[in-house]
Structure 1
Amino acid sequence: MSLIPRSTRLAARAISKPRTYSIVVDAPSAEWVSKREAIKHHAAGTTDLWRRISFFVCIPGAFAVVAWVRNVEAEHAEHQEHLKKENGGHLPEVPAYDYLNKRVKPFPWGPNSLFFNPHVNKDMSD
């Protein structure tokens, strides 16, 4: 293919064609503008409402839950220490119920769970 036909084809493509979907629109009607302003006003009020709910309800509620959980966990830790003192420095042995810690298939990493914690969980390697 020679250079002249190729360049004429490119020049023909480069000529801008009028777009049939672009038309000039008149200014929006006053009814549409008033509805749009009402929507903006409602959105601003709703945004302000939820901002107040977040600041004055959710954040103090989260702090209250943190304080409650902290107190419950402190009581639990005191109870655990009390049990350790009664049993010579160790927690009492958990009863070996048949329905607890059943293993149909062994785990690839051993008999304990993947998140095994020796201070909290029973060691299943026995």
Structure 2
Amino acid sequence: MSLLARNALRTARHARAYTSTPTPGAQGYLAERAALEHHAAETSDLWRKISYFVCFPAIAVCAAWVYNAEAEHKQHLDHLRSQNEGNLPEVPAFEYLNKRTKPFPWGMNTLFFNPYTNKNMEE
């Protein structure tokens, strides 16, 4: 028997009969799947509402609070500068502040040194 005829015969023997009506066992599966999809839709709707009505307002309130705190801090630093001819007052030279036994590879200041806000350790 040729290869094509043998494969055709084998396929015909194992062919499935598809039906448009689900079997009784499939009814339970379909009902369970529909209940699962309904639950997923309710849960995703709940978390969407939590995101919109809880998380986003909380983020806005925190952002406003931080903005106000930083504005007060900047106002205080500007006040100190105005009293000291444009410079921040000298930080007390306590032994335990900025103790370095050897410099960094790029110098005595930290990698994120900002001369507007930090004390220059190379002076």
1:8-30 Cα distance to aligned partner (Å, 9 max, x none): xxxx9xxx8x8xxxx96985522
| Cα RMSD (Å) | 2.5
How far 1:47 sits from its partner (Å)?
A: 0.5
Structure 2 counterpart of 1:40: 37
Go from structure 1 to structure 2 and tell me whether the alpha carbon gap of 1:41 and 1:94 turns closer, same or farther (over 3 Å shift): same
CA distance in 2, matches of 1:103, 1:37: 67
Structure 1 counterpart of 2:99: 102
Q: Does 1:85 align with 2:82?
A: yes
Supply the AA of the counterpart residue of 1:91: L
The correspondence for 2:65, drawn from 43, 65, 68, is: 68
CA distance in 1, matches of 2:83, 2:114: 22
Runs of 4+ in 1 over 4 A off after TM superposition: 23-28
CA distance in 2, matches of 1:93, 1:84: 11
Residue ranges of structure 2 left out of the alignment (5+ in a row): none
Paired residues, what number?
107
Supply the AA of the counterpart residue of 1:36: R
Supply the AA of the counterpart residue of 1:111: M
> Which secondary structure does the structure 2 equivalent of 1:102 belong to?
coil
Aligned counterparts, 1:47-66, within 5 A: 47-66=44-63
How far 1:100 sits from its partner (Å)?
A: 2.1
Structure 2 counterpart of 1:115: 112
Supply the AA of the counterpart residue of 1:62: I
Residue ranges of structure 1 left out of the alignment (5+ in a row): 1-11
CA distance in 1, matches of 2:78, 2:88: 9
Structure 2 counterpart of 1:3: none
Go from structure 1 to structure 2 and tell me whether the alpha carbon gap of 1:42 and 1:104 turns closer, same or farther (over 3 Å shift): farther
Identity rate, percent: 52
TM normalised by structure 1 equals 0.72
Supply the AA of the counterpart residue of 1:98: E
